[in-house]
Structure 1
Amino acid sequence: MNSIGYYDGSHMFFGMLFWVLVIIAIALLFRWSNNQSQNNGEDQLSAFEIAKIRYAKGEITEEEFERIKTSLFSKKEEE
């Protein structure tokens, strides 16, 4: 037995494995974060598109749809 004890090198292996996993986790988190920021504008529907879908499903009446459409397009003209 040497002065280190029962050290067989596995501690160094598991230590390196831990840091490799940490680095991989950080890289995956960074990649996921970038994908989320790029997809924010693409996956969201506009208010008018949502109103059209709700009207097509029968969730709102024609009068409600026209009121929403008028409200949305009058706000765009003001900007």
Structure 2
Amino acid sequence: MAHFAGDMAVLEELGTLKEKTVEVIKESLGTKRDEIDLSISDLILIPVERLPEDDRKLLLKVAQELEGDAKLKIVRR
């Protein structure tokens, strides 16, 4: 995962999500892409109760740190 600030991409690996979590996120957003840019408004669409506890904690922590129009990038490897 990484986040974007303004016109500059600030890449920092923040953690790894389980495959199940990525599938829930993709389903929630209606995408099939392997790279997903999430905004704060996208995060509220994800049913966190369906996520494994470790992934839920990671996403909530990251969501609290996102500022303004920053984006969280999830890249499937």
What is the TM-score normalised by the length of structure 1? 0.24
Q: Which protein is richer in helix relative to its size? A: 1
Higher relative contact order (CA 8 A, sep 6+): 2
TM-score by length of 2: 0.24
Whose Rg is larger? 1
